[in-house]
Amino acid sequence: MAGIFKLLKIDFQVGGRWEGRNLAASLQVFQAVTGAGGSTACQSAMACMGAKAAWVGEARDQVEAVRLTMEVATGRWQVTWDRAAVEFVNEATGELRVRAVRSESGQESAGAHLLGLLGLPVEESARGAVTVEAALPLLFLTEDRASTAQVGGMIAGRDRSATWEILFGLLDGTELRLRSLAAQTAAVERSARTRLAKLQQARREHGLPSLGDLRARRREHRGASEQAHEQEQRQKHAEQEATAALAALQEDARTAQTRLDEADRCVQDWDKDLGTLYEKQGRARQRLASLREDAEKPVHCPQCSQPLPRRNTGQCPLCAQHDDTADRRTQRLRDAVDAAGRAATTAERAVAQARTAHHDALSGRQEAAAAMRKALAAVDTCRTTRLAPAVAARAAAAAQRREAELLLAAVDELFKELRELQETEEAIDQHTEAADHAKQQWHTALDQVADRRHTLAKELTYIFAPLLKKMTPQVHDAYIEPDTFTPRVNGHPARDIAHFAGLLNLIHLAWHLTLFTAARTMPHLALPAFVWLDSPLDGVGGGEQGEQHVRAALSAIAEAAEAAGDDGQIILTTPHPLPRIPAHARTTVLDVPASFIPHLTPAFAARAVPKGRRQPEDPCDATCEQNDREDRTAAEQLAAPGPPVSAGLHVIAPF
């Protein structure tokens, strides 16, 4: 049995004002005529619980929101639905959670959140998921479904199967884990076999080399790689030596260039010094010549250039006058001539020395230039004859090494493929064994599930068959099918039973009361002991037999509620009074003026028809009205003399 679940109140917002009905009794009976809004309340409660259904019922134009107060294991919650979202508020803690009616972007929907509040397991597997759409038909018997052939609702497919199997306690974490493990191991085995096929195809593309061929190739390519590596190292050493020699020669060339620059500066300096000395030599020679000319006695007249006559000692050569200073002047001139001669000699000697030094500087510059040319030639020779060949040889050795390594890597890859091939074959055996073991465990679990399924079907049959037979004596055989957990009556499934005399209504009612009782008495079921019966007897028909069936059905409901006590809750909407009122029951009489939604506007409420019929304002109303007409026609035909009339595939004896 699932945890605590009880509906306490349902409120409707009309014009901004909230009013509603109390649902807190263990057996809450709404004795309501058609048009009082009982179906609207049932549909609204399902919408609050996350059912993906449109807003239906007579109040859809005025009701703005619906609030359902419920009690679960975590406390009391107010669940408010406003078409787009559902708001969950914990009355004790004030905790607020808002969920969309339809899940968006993988977020939790309102239905999934409500399943968690109810303590129902929210499981999802390859066979389907537990959904509120598949779970609510087990808890709600709506008026539009009470006389249909689909017992348990129109939800079909994997979600219904998975939901019912989990809620009925047939599947739990163990079965789901074994199912997932079997699927995973099978997928791993398939992946390994695919990998093996690819490896075998690759070997075929490489010519299927044997293990010995691969070993010989590996030795050959490894030897070539090692030789190329050694050659590369030798050439690297030669390159380093050539680089060092080139660096030394380049240093010699730089030294020769320095010497050449110094020789050039020396030659330039001597050129400057020679110019200065030549100037000094010229001035000395000019002064010596001038002094010599002054020291010589005149022999010609400076005016007429005629020879002067010979004069006596002590007379002037020109004027013949007595000259007392002639000897002193002559001596001074001789001294000046001697000094100028010495200066000229010194200048000549300095020029000669400078010319010698200049010549030596020129010779040194020529030698430095020759040394520079020799050093540059040695650099070029080293670069072209030693370094460049060493670099080229090293590059060639590196290329050979890389080629040998690539070939060796290709052989290693083939070795790897062979090893991987062997490992894959071994892994396939292991995966196959694991997959077989997981499959065997899963099949064992399936057998156990099948056993539990048949056992549960028998247990449900023990409840269902007496209930249905108590409602109508015409049922002589009834049981729950273990494959679908739907009823089979008088040898026929519900979908093949004739649509007359309300038999389908009684089958639906008995089936839901069976689930209600089983949820309370069978601990392994995950269903809450709750059921909302919305006008389940509208299609039973009239007459004495119809009244007997109604009384029997209402008595069965009362007995189920009385047996459950406070451990369960039944909400019943019916126009018929209960033949016996249980201890924990509460009856609320509703007619059209006293609608389920008490604060609807009078103009809108007046649209309901108070004579037990509803106008077909929506497809649901039209369907219910058509079902009523068919049931009344079938009852009249059964009351008339003659053979019974069947409205289905099989003829069932009339009630």
Closest CA to 132 of 116, 145, 144, 149: 116
What integer pLDDT is reported at residue 644 of this predicted model? 35
CATH class for domain 211-422? mainly alpha
Residues of the chain with pLDDT under 50: 603-628, 630-655
Which residue is associated with the tokens 């969950």?
Answer: 88
Residues with Cβ within 8 Å of residue 442, at least 6 apart in sequence? 178, 179, 181, 182
What are 63's strand-pairing partners? 14
Phi, psi dihedral angles at 613 (to 5 degrees): -130, 150
> How far is residue 214's CA from residue 216's CA, in Å, rounded to a whole number?
5
Which residue is associated with the tokens 């499981």?
Answer: 123
Q: Is the dihedral of CA 462, 463, 464, 469 positive or negative?
A: positive
Classified as helix, coil or strand, 290 is helix
**10 Å Cβ neighbour count for 574?**
21
- CA 549 to the chain's CA centroid: 60
Residues with Cβ within 8 Å of residue 639, at least 6 apart in sequence? 543
> How far is residue 80's CA from residue 47's CA, in Å, rounded to a whole number?
10
DSSP summary character for residue 137: G
Angle at the Cα of 157 from the Cα atoms of 151 and 159, rounded to 5 degrees: 95
> How far is residue 146's CA from residue 134's CA, in Å, rounded to a whole number?
16
Paired tokens of 580: 């016996």
Classified as helix, coil or strand, 606 is coil
pTM comes to: 0.58
Angle at the Cα of 396 from the Cα atoms of 393 and 397, rounded to 5 degrees: 85
Residues with Cβ within 8 Å of residue 527, at least 6 apart in sequence? 1, 2, 138, 139, 167, 168, 515, 518, 519
Tally helices (H) and strands (E) across the chain.
Answer: 12, 16
| Amino acid, single-letter form, for residue 489 | V
Paired tokens of 312: 């006596």
What integer pLDDT is reported at residue 515 of this predicted model? 93
Classified as helix, coil or strand, 390 is helix
> How far is residue 492's CA from residue 355's CA, in Å, rounded to a whole number?
145
Classified as helix, coil or strand, 65 is strand
CA torsion angle 272 278 284 288 (round to 10): 180
What integer pLDDT is reported at residue 52 of this predicted model? 66
Paired tokens of 95: 């905790």
Residues with Cβ within 8 Å of residue 299, at least 6 apart in sequence? 307, 308, 317
Q: Residue 99 class from Cβ within 10 Å (0-12 exposed, 13-18 middle, 19+ buried)?
A: buried
Classified as helix, coil or strand, 5 is strand
Segments making up each domain of the chain, as ranges: 5-15+34-71+81-168+485-575+631-639, 211-422
Q: Which pairing describes strands 585-590 and 569-574: parallel, antiparallel, or unpaired?
A: unpaired
Q: In what side-by-side order are the strands of the sheet with 85-90?
A: 17-22, 5-14, 63-72, 75-81, 85-90, 96-100
C-beta of residue 492 within 8 angstroms of C-beta of residue 646: no
Report CA Rg, the chain: 63
What integer pLDDT is reported at residue 143 of this predicted model? 84
Paired tokens of 632: 């009344």
Longest Cα–Cα distance in the chain:
212
> How far is residue 137's CA from residue 140's CA, in Å, rounded to a whole number?
5
C-beta of residue 308 within 8 angstroms of C-beta of residue 315: no
